Every structure is written in structure tokens, then in C-alpha cells.
Amino acid sequence: MPTVFLSPSTQEFNNYVTEGNEELYMNMLADRMEPYLRSSGIKYVRNDPDRGAVGAIADSNSGYYDVHLALHTNAGGGEFAGKLRGIDIYYAPEDDDSERLAVIIANNLENIYPLPSRSRALPTYNLGEVLRTRAVAVLAELGYHDNYEDELWIRTNLNSIAKNLVQSLCDYFGIPFIEAGAVRQGIVVTDGSGLNIRSYPSLEGRIIGSAPADAMVTVYGVFYGEDSPWYVISYNGITGYASAEYIAV
């Protein structure tokens, strides 16, 4: 299953026009993404807010991640202070996967942003978190925090933005988005054989692990397929899908 390095802004000095700052709200956004990531089977690691962008790049590059997602908000500054609106999703210009992810995110955000034509994917030639990370990386500027309308939209729509971003990650990875719910414990109930853990909720999904009969597993979400439901589970460090028919919760 995919793993994401989630990197909310560490720029506490970027004050919002009414209250709070960029670091505060982007970490609140990341907090709200976590339940959707878990329920959809996406593992994640977050940056250390005390290490800044350079530390985030180093920490991301020290592990294996499928995506590096940086969360930020923008500011016009100077003569443009407070006058600009819009969402910019930055990608590495020579990385097709980075561009594809950025386009997916920008297109999906059109569905919830008040000015859909101003949600766009753009190449960057200087953002380190996009250009210097080994993982496929994008940096999301989710509106202008020095603009009253954008700032209000950001502050009052954190859950919608979080859900939308995770939906985009699911689209990119080719897995179903699953609504967040309570994390539960379950017991594998088979005839003694192991229960396959798969990379996709289907008998055609690749087997990535197995849980023995009577094993305790953590259940993060449920996907209702055409034939039967599948749980998103974690067992012994492996996260994936398993047939709900053989798990008692």
C-alpha cells in the first residue's frame, strides 16, 4: 500500500489576515487528513515542525515514500497584498508523475473552491520540496491567506479540503476512497488457514501478506465491492485489504 510524506507548512511567521497563521492551519488540515488516509489504506509520516523545509526534505529522502505532499497557503505581498485569490499546485516540470498528481489535485479542488477556474497546476523551478525530494512531490498553495475571502474559505473548510486532498491521492494511486470511521479491532475467523491481505479490494488484487486464524487485526475502513465488503486492515506492519467475511469485529 502507498505511503505519503505529509509536510504541512512550518511558517508560523506567515500570519493570516484575521487570526492564526499558516503553520497552525496547515497542521490542522493535516490532522483532518489523517482519518481519511487511514480509512483508505494510505500510510503516512508527517514532518517535524521544528526542522523547517530543509529538514522535511532530508527526512523525506531518508525513507521510502510514494508521494511527498507539502501543504501551504499563499500571500500576494507588496502591491498585490490582499488582492489575489486562487489555488496553485506546483509540480516538478520534468516529472510526469508529479505533474499528473498536481493536475488531479487541482482538478478535484475545483469542485469545492469558490473560483474553480483559479485552481491550477503549475511547474516550479525553485521550490525545494518539489525538486529535491526523491518521492513524487507536489506543493499545494491552497489559497491566499492575506485575502479575506480566501482566508475565510480555508479556515471554514478544512475538513472538506482534507477529504478532497485524500480523494486526489486515492485517484493518483488507483485505489478507492473510503470514508473515515472509527478504528476497530477484529479477529480473523477462518477454518485454520491464513487470511490473505491484498493491495486492492478484489480477489485479483496482489497478495502482500497474510494474517493467521485467530489473529487480532486493526480495521480502519470498509469498502463495499460488487460481490462482498472488504476491510482496510493492518496486521504485523502490513496495511491492505482483506475480505470482511473472515473478520469478526
* pLDDT single digits (tens) 177-188: 999 999 999 999
* Mean pLDDT, the chain, integer: 96
Specify the CATH architecture of the domain 3-173: 3-Layer(aba) Sandwich (3.40)
In the block, cell 521544528 appears at 50
Say yes or no to pLDDT of 81 above 90: no
Q: Is the pTM of this model over 0.85?
A: yes
Say yes or no to pLDDT of 106 above 80: yes
C-alpha cell at 181: 470511521
Say yes or no to pLDDT of 17 above 80: yes
For residues 139-166, average pLDDT: 98
Question: What does the pLDDT read at residue 77?
Answer: 81
Q: What three-state secondary structure class fits 28? A: helix
Task: Locate CATH 3.40.630.40 in the chain.
Answer: 3-173
Question: What does the pLDDT read at residue 45?
Answer: 98
Tell me 51's DSSP state: S
C-alpha cell at 131: 525538486
Percent of the chain with pLDDT over 70: 100
For residues 81-107, average pLDDT: 96
Residue 241's alpha-carbon distances to 22, 168, 210, in angstroms, are 36, 20, 10
The C-alpha atoms of residue 232 and residue 201 are separated, in whole angstroms, by 8
Question: What does the pLDDT read at residue 85?
Answer: 97
Q: What three-state secondary structure class fits 74? A: strand
The C-alpha atoms of residue 121 and residue 76 are separated, in whole angstroms, by 18
Q: Do 204 and 174 meet the contact criterion of CB atoms below 8 Å apart?
A: no
Say yes or no to pLDDT of 65 above 80: yes
For residues 193-211, average pLDDT: 96
Say yes or no to pLDDT of 227 above 80: no
Residue 184 one-letter amino acid: R
* CATH 3.40.50.300 assigned to 184-248: no
Task: Locate CATH 2.30.30.40 in the chain.
Answer: 184-248
Question: What does the pLDDT read at residue 78?
Answer: 83
Q: What separation, in Å, do the N-terminal and C-terminal C-alpha atoms of the chain show?
A: 22
